[in-house]
Amino acid sequence: MTTIFITGCSSGFGRATAQLFLDRGWNVVAAMRTPREDVLNGGPDRLRVVTLDVTDTDSVRAGVEEAIGAFGGVDVLVNNAGVGFFSPLETTTDQTIRHLFETNTFGVMAMIRAMVPHMRERGVGIIVNVTSSSTFAPMPLTAVYAASKTAVDGLSEALYFELAPFGIQVKMVEPGYGPGTAFSTNAVALNDESSIPVAYQAHAQHLMGALPSESTSAGDVAEGVFRAVTEKGPTLRFPAGPDSVAIAQKRATLSEEAFLEKQRDIVGHPQR
């Protein structure tokens, strides 16, 4: 594998992942809605920055065509572009719900649909979908975001089997909470004044205080993607970041009742 195509590279997880692969000798096609050549260090012989909006079908098609042509083919597709959100479901507008699904879920589907014919014809390829620890440990006030990412989890597991006969591997990288990225900033920016009504304020403040001390860095995610791409074997899910790894281990080893009890302790709401 020599060429990787990554969406959402202008900052955060995508930027760190693109830079790591560049540093390790890969050809990188870095997709951004608003291209910036200055965010990555790599010469034109191994870096191509392309304009791509995952919510726009024509943009996806054009971006994939440019990526394939840049280095003669794409070996790995990383669906990283995404947006966060933090709000009760009852006050989340239809527009916001659709925006999250258009980016986090339908955008991933669009990228895969555009790339699979190329990989299938070559008989080889890897697709890595960056999801979230919310797919196995969703927290209060993240219902819409968790739903959009959990849909990608189901999509990925189905495609893990569906695309295997064509030599295409599907994997997931599952970051934890990343306060040092633009992702968290965007999650707050989407909220308006009525997003967290008075009835939820105390709950929201408790959750903010309960955020993990060991959170996920952009470097954790970049290393997680590199591991998913290069590690041999049938592994589908790759938790990334100490908080994600810890909670994935709890989910795997505890009974459903014990796990939910621990989560209730974290969120501060005993079962009624």
Roughly how many angstroms between the first and final C-alpha of the chain, as a whole number?
53
CA gap 144, 109 in Å, rounded: 18
CB 154 within 8 A of CB 249: no
Is residue 25 predicted with pLDDT exceeding 90? yes
Give the separation between CA 269 and CA 141, rounded to whole angstroms.
13
Q: Residues 104, 145: contact at Cβ < 8 Å? A: yes
pLDDT interval class at 263 (50, 70, 90): confident
Mean pLDDT (whole number) for 200-226 = 81
Q: Given the structure tokens 């591991």, which residue do they identify?
A: 227
Q: Which two tokens stand for residue 242?
A: 């100490």
β-bridge mates for residue 50, sequence order? 31
Strand pairing report for 168-175 and 47-51 = unpaired
Which class is 3-267 in CATH? alpha beta
pLDDT for the residue numbered 269 = 62
Residue 102: predicted pLDDT: 97
Highest mean pLDDT among 94-103, 174-183, 196-205: 94-103
Map out the domains of the chain as residue ranges: 3-267
Q: What kind and span of H or E run contains 236?
A: none
As a whole number of angstroms, the distance between CA 81 and CA 84 comes to 10
Q: Which residue has the tokens 């990555």?
A: 40
User: Which residues touch 162 (CB under 8 Å, ≥6 apart)?
Assistant: none
The structure tokens 């200055």 sit at: 38
Measured CA distances, 142 to 44, 81, 134, 138, 194 (Å): 40, 18, 8, 7, 16
Q: Which residue among the candidates 145, 160, 177, 200 is catalytic per the annotation?
A: 145
In this predicted structure, the answer to whether residue 180 has a pLDDT above a threshold of 80 is no
Q: Which residues pair with 49 in a beta bridge?
A: 30
Among 44-48, 155-159, 191-195, 217-221, the minimum mean pLDDT is found in 191-195
Q: What is the pLDDT of residue 264?
A: 81
pTM (whole model) above 0.85: yes
Cα separation of 77 and 226, whole Å? 12
Contact (Cβ atoms closer than 8 angstroms) between residue 217 and residue 108: no
Phi-psi region of 233 (alpha: psi -120 to 50; beta: other; left: phi over 0): left
Is 200 part of the annotated catalytic residue set?
A: no
- Average of pLDDT values for 156-185? 86
Query: Burial code of 210-231, b = ≥16 C-beta within 10 A, e = fewer?
Result: eebeebbbbbbbbbbbbebbee
Confidence of residue 124 (pLDDT cuts 50, 70, 90): very high
- 204: tokens are 């929201």
